[in-house]
Structure 1
Amino acid sequence: MKLILDSEERNIAGSRVKIARLKNNMTQQELSVKLETLAVYVDRASISKLEQKKRIITDIELVALSQVLNVSVSWLLGQDK
Structure 2
Amino acid sequence: MSMLEARLIATARALCRRTGRRPRDAFMRRAVSTAYYAMFHALCRLCADQLIGGKYEKTPAWQRLYRAMEHKIAKNALLLIKVRQP
Higher relative contact order (Cα pairs below 8 Å, separated by 6+ residues): 1
TM-score (norm 1): 0.33
TM-score (norm 2): 0.32
